[in-house]
Amino acid sequence: MDIARASIERPVNTWLIILACLLGGLWGMNNIGRLEDPAFTIKMALVITPYPGATAAEVEEEITEPLESAIQQLPQLKRLTSRSRPGESIIKVEIKNQYDGDTMPQVWDELRRKVGDAQSSLPRGAVKSTVYDDYGDVFGIFFSVVAPDLSDAEIRELSRFLRRELLTVPNVSKVTTAGEPVEVIYVEISQERLVSLGIPLEAVLNTLQSENRVQSGGSVEIDGRRIRISGEPGFDSVAAIEALRIGRPGSTEQVSLIDVATVYRGATDTPSELIYHNGERAFTLAVAGLQTANIVDVGHAVSEHLEKIRHRIPLGVHIEPIYQQHLVVDKAIDDFLVSLALSVAIVIGVLCLTMGWRVGVAVGSTLLLTVLGTVFFMAMFAIEMERISLGALIIAMGMLVDNAIVIAEGMLIGIQRGQSAKDAASDASRRTQMPLLGATVIGIMAFSGIGLSQDVTGEFLFSLFAVISISLLLSWLLAITVTPLMGHYLFDGHQYEEGEDPYAHASYVKYRNILISALKNRGLTITALVMITVLSVVGFGFVRHAFFPPSNTPMFYLNVWLRQGADIQETARQLAGMEKLILEHDEVEAVTAFVGKGASRFMLTYEPELPNPSYGQLIVRVTDRHLIDGLIEKLRVTLAKQYPSIEIYPQKLMFGPGGGAKIEARFKGSDPAVLRHLGEQARLLFEKSGVVQDIRIDWRTQEIVVVPHYDEERARIAGVGRADVKTSSLFATTGIQAGTYRERDTHIPIVVRPPENERGSVGRLADRVMWSSAEQAYVPVSQVVSGLEIATEESLIHRRNRVRALEVQADPSGDLTADQALRQLRGTLEAMPLPKGYVLEWGGEYENASEAQASLAQQVPIGFLVMLVISILLFGKVRQPLVIWLIVPMSICGVSIGLLLTGQPFTFMAMLGFLSLSGMLMKNAIVLIDEVDAQVEDGKLMRDALVDGSVSRLRPVFLAAFTTILGMIPLMWDAFFSSMAITIMAGLAFATVLTMVAVPVLYALFFRVRF
């Protein structure tokens, strides 16, 4: 079919295509969703089960083990990791890669059923397990709220007000708050008063529980009506609690609670979380938008609504942004659009300079329509405009003009030989449209590995494959329709003198001479090509390797770990000092401190730390991301001097999936003592190596505990049991929750405990008394406890796939990558003798990269198989495809030099660029070989056809490579794409030169063409 001639003879149809791309692109620009980075599904859920009073070992054996046994029956399960600590089990459930976001709700329902069925096997005292399947929800609009002049109750009311208001904003799906002061009603009863009155502690507890319990009073039928019997409300004030009457059952001797206790309302002494912003107490407000909504619009709507209700917020309240995704997205997209426009301008400018303004306009208009048409299809297929999709357009820029250049070049040559523009377009299109289509599909399939990959990295980078596929196919369609029409308008009437040799230019003559010389000395040429390729492979061994680079967001974290068992208030005091020190640096804009747990997930790549009172995190925002490295090194020195006993290690925000420690040595086995020993050995080897820093062990230090030695014989005589001893110690220390006080939609715990002078001292525990139901009197604790022992025990037990696992974690020192540091460590650690039944595994970046590369490797053969089949179908022979595939190894030529000279690591994105190089080189080779075969079919001698065909493809091939290289320039300064840009630029520049020699030489070798 003569599509080019039809597009010229029926221009209305072609103009419809032009208008569709133009108007569709403008519509797409206004309606397409915007994100900073592409969304990917975090296929994880948490199963949390409290077991108050149990040790970490008891939690592991009685809670974690039976739950993991039930959960592992899920066929969708990929990995189980768990953390057992005193009083709580947390199991992280990770689902296999092949299950996408649409199927996850069904998977979570099945998980809930498995967990629900396992509840009957849990011990008494365990609280019902809760499945948190929103663990991966992202709250991209994240504020801190500072209210220094408000009371705790007013802060809680403000929190409720802000949450309620923001939930009314269109397209807001969730609003969560954290860090508000937790209020408790304390009932402080002196032990002496209880003993003197002879009132059992249980009587007080039971009275408080029963008096405020909501319970049905039943109903009666009267005259055909059902009349409900309504009880009076329970406590409606602290005074009502004080007025509560207590006494011994069966006795008329009763007193008001206020006569024996002090009742007051205040903040809890043991909060689970504390938050500070720039040194002031704060709470956070995290907002998530609907997945189908444009986060930029949602963010601006939230900001406008906050401004609208400003007059209803008390004076002195400051709402400070911690992270505003919509502003980040706006800036990132604007910067990328500038880069895209610059890339388009560079390509068109190069074409105008090298082929004349008419060709530049013809090919440039095709390029512009291709970009706009791609944006239209992106909007139609719900592909957001984000870093990866826009980067894909820039990456594809040179390939987008390749098809149009070939058609325009063919038209120019035809016109120069005396043909009309219509005939020249028809001839150029008919000869090249199918080879160009095949070469375009091959170029697409070079990226298919990441497009078909099912792991989280593949999901993160899917838009790269999708956008390149759309844009390249659209470029082929427009090249055989719009380019001929533009050429008809611009080229016709501008023919050269008939009979003039179009390839008489000095550059063509020089290339012809070099090519003939290489063909005459094909043995030497092939040897030289092989040597260059081998040297490039050898040089590649000196290139640094990495997974994903750090983000360009001007933020970083400081993770702070006190000794395991530290009180959360002590952790807060230490972080307050660090926060003050950090704020003294001029480059710091703001510091937000989270004590007891991590922040809400405000970025996809941020994984909050699980609750632990010994943990704190400082989120530091700086004025410029380039200042982060220097500030981190200064803080390392300063904080290490002032806080030598505290583990402090920085963490940068990263692009893409994966996170945590860069290097992890994971020991798996059954005995915690053996695991501890192996972990300590590995820690010492880490320190000795000098290539890593921030070394830590995920089991932390053992925790100090007080162990009362229970005398069973004496306890039986006294009529008390172990539970009575634990109740006595609980009352004497943190207090016992004896019910809740209902205040509108809030339930405030009522905690019974002794006055301050009777609690807080370990030595006073032996002086406590407990109620003996047998003797109906108080008996001393010392009567049933022979002594108190100070001991240590494991307080954090980690498991991986139901096996205990201890990780020694670290980050590379200085400018080393994780790969470089691991290479130096690996041999030493793997030489460690391991007891039978114990194994060493490597986690961290090595594991993340290995999983991503393994998933990619499963799909790459499919793509290359399609590429092979297409190359064979294009020619219907074997020797031509063999020549094409022999140049694939040459894609490494130049890559090593480029990465080594620039110091860029070979990242996962660089690997994708490396794979795409093969597609680009094969595309050039296909067009060149097809031209040679076409000239042979026209009757030309194979020797002349090989030389003339190669010469005729010199300008299209070099222009395509040159425009691709120059179009990549804007990406060189992008943190995410820089290594990929260098890989493609250097590889294409070097390999294209070799290809223009290698293809003809190999062709001559296989077809026995003599020179």
Digit-coded pLDDT (tens) for 592-606: 999 999 999 988 878
Do residue 487 and residue 510 come from a single domain?
A: no
**CA dist., res. 713 & res. 736, Å (int):** 27
Task: Give yes or no for a contact between 748 and 185, defined as CB atoms under 8 angstroms apart.
Answer: yes
Do residue 512 and residue 578 come from a single domain?
A: no
Evaluate the CA torsion angle 970, 972, 974, 980 in order and state its sign: positive
Do residue 767 and residue 641 come from a single domain?
A: no
Domain final residue pick, 793, 825, 847: 793
The C-alpha R_g of the chain, in whole angstroms, comes to 36
Confidence at residue 758, expressed as pLDDT on a 0 to 100 scale: 80
Do residue 362 and residue 393 come from a single domain?
A: yes
In degrees and rounded to multiples of 5, residue 496 shows phi and psi of -85, 170
Predicted confidence (pLDDT) per residue in 172-188, tens digit = 999 999 999 988 999 89
- Whether the pLDDT of residue 340 is over 80: the answer is no
**Is 674 a member of any domain?**
no
**66 confidence band (pLDDT: 50, 70, 90):** very high
The average pLDDT across 632-637 equals 92
Most confident of 81-85, 148-152, 873-877, 1007-1011: 81-85
Confidence at residue 367, expressed as pLDDT on a 0 to 100 scale: 87
Q: Where are the alpha helices (DSSP H) in 521-627?
A: 522-540, 568-583
Confidence at residue 495, expressed as pLDDT on a 0 to 100 scale: 47
Confidence at residue 720, expressed as pLDDT on a 0 to 100 scale: 82
**Is 530 a member of any domain?**
yes
CA angle 648, 650, 652 (to 5 degrees): 165
Which tokens go with 938? Answer: 């026209």
**Is 179 a member of any domain?**
no
Confidence at residue 278, expressed as pLDDT on a 0 to 100 scale: 94
**Is 391 a member of any domain?**
yes
Distance of CA 506 to the CA centre of its chain: 53
**Is 640 a member of any domain?**
yes
φ/ψ bin of 180: left (φ > 0), alpha (ψ from -120 to 50), beta (otherwise): beta
For residue 221, which amino acid is it? E
Task: Give yes or no for a contact between 571 and 616, defined as CB atoms under 8 angstroms apart.
Answer: yes
Confidence at residue 923, expressed as pLDDT on a 0 to 100 scale: 80
Do residue 366 and residue 488 come from a single domain?
A: yes
Task: Give yes or no for a contact between 206 and 257, defined as CB atoms under 8 angstroms apart.
Answer: no
Domain final residue pick, 761, 793, 825: 793
Which tokens go with 993? Answer: 């030169």
In 3-state terms, what secondary structure has residue 373?
helix
Strand 183-189 relative to strand 663-668, pairing: unpaired
The average pLDDT across 823-849 equals 91
The CATH number of the domain holding residue 411 is 1.20.1640.10
- Whether the pLDDT of residue 950 is over 50: the answer is yes
In degrees and rounded to multiples of 5, residue 708 shows phi and psi of -75, 130
> Could you tell me the residue range of the domain that residue 611 belongs to?
555-653
**CA dist., res. 469 & res. 184, Å (int):** 60
In 3-state terms, what secondary structure has residue 225?
strand
The CATH number of the domain holding residue 740 is 3.30.2090.10
Confidence at residue 496, expressed as pLDDT on a 0 to 100 scale: 47
**130 confidence band (pLDDT: 50, 70, 90):** very high
The average pLDDT across 884-894 equals 85
Which has the higher per-residue pLDDT, 587 or 2? 587
**CA dist., res. 791 & res. 782, Å (int):** 19
For residue 29, which amino acid is it? M
**Over 650-686, what HEC string results?**
EEECECCCCCCCCEEEEEECCCHHHHHHHHHHHHHHH
Do residue 362 and residue 487 come from a single domain?
A: yes
Report the percentage of the chain scoring pLDDT > 70.
97
- Whether the pLDDT of residue 910 is over 70: the answer is yes
Do residue 528 and residue 465 come from a single domain?
A: no
Task: Give yes or no for a contact between 679 and 667, defined as CB atoms under 8 angstroms apart.
Answer: yes
Do residue 474 and residue 571 come from a single domain?
A: no
Domain count for the chain: 4
Do residue 368 and residue 406 come from a single domain?
A: yes
- On the CB side of 465, CA atoms within 13 Å amount to 22
Predicted confidence (pLDDT) per residue in 554-608, tens digit = 999 999 999 999 999 999 999 999 999 999 999 999 999 999 999 999 888 788 9
Predicted confidence (pLDDT) per residue in 193-214, tens digit = 888 877 888 888 888 887 767 6
Confidence at residue 232, expressed as pLDDT on a 0 to 100 scale: 64
Most confident of 618-622, 962-966, 984-988: 618-622
- Whether the pLDDT of residue 426 is over 90: the answer is no
Task: Give yes or no for a contact between 781 and 720, defined as CB atoms under 8 angstroms apart.
Answer: no
**Is 18 a member of any domain?**
yes
Domain final residue pick, 763, 793, 823: 793
Report the percentage of the chain scoring pLDDT > 90.
38
Do residue 514 and residue 563 come from a single domain?
A: no
- Whether the pLDDT of residue 865 is over 60: the answer is yes
Do residue 522 and residue 559 come from a single domain?
A: no
Do residue 470 and residue 533 come from a single domain?
A: no
**CA dist., res. 656 & res. 420, Å (int):** 53
Confidence at residue 502, expressed as pLDDT on a 0 to 100 scale: 67
Count helices and strands (H / E) in the chain.
Answer: 35, 30
Which has the higher per-residue pLDDT, 137 or 22? 22
Task: Give yes or no for a contact between 410 and 380, defined as CB atoms under 8 angstroms apart.
Answer: no
The average pLDDT across 85-94 equals 95
Average pLDDT, the chain: 86
**828 confidence band (pLDDT: 50, 70, 90):** very high
**CA dist., res. 830 & res. 825, Å (int):** 9
**Is 820 a member of any domain?**
no
CA angle 127, 128, 132 (to 5 degrees): 115
Indicate the range of 71-80, 392-401, 786-795, 954-963 predicted with least confidence: 392-401
pTM listed for this prediction: 0.84
Burial category of 127 from C-beta neighbours within 10 Å (exposed 0-12, middle 13-18, buried 19 and up): middle
Task: Give yes or no for a contact between 840 and 830, defined as CB atoms under 8 angstroms apart.
Answer: yes
| 48 membership: H or E segment, kind and range | strand 44-50
Contacts of 550 (CB under 8 A, 6+ apart): 628, 652, 653, 654, 655, 975
Confidence at residue 438, expressed as pLDDT on a 0 to 100 scale: 87
**Is 428 a member of any domain?**
yes
Residue 388 DSSP symbol = H
Most confident of 275-284, 544-553, 840-849: 275-284
Predicted confidence (pLDDT) per residue in 258-268, tens digit = 888 888 888 88
**CA dist., res. 979 & res. 971, Å (int):** 9
**CA dist., res. 840 & res. 834, Å (int):** 8
Confidence at residue 718, expressed as pLDDT on a 0 to 100 scale: 77
Indicate the range of 453-457, 619-623, 675-679, 754-758 predicted with least confidence: 453-457
In degrees and rounded to multiples of 5, residue 121 shows phi and psi of -90, -5
Burial category of 361 from C-beta neighbours within 10 Å (exposed 0-12, middle 13-18, buried 19 and up): middle
Predicted confidence (pLDDT) per residue in 968-980, tens digit = 888 788 777 888 8
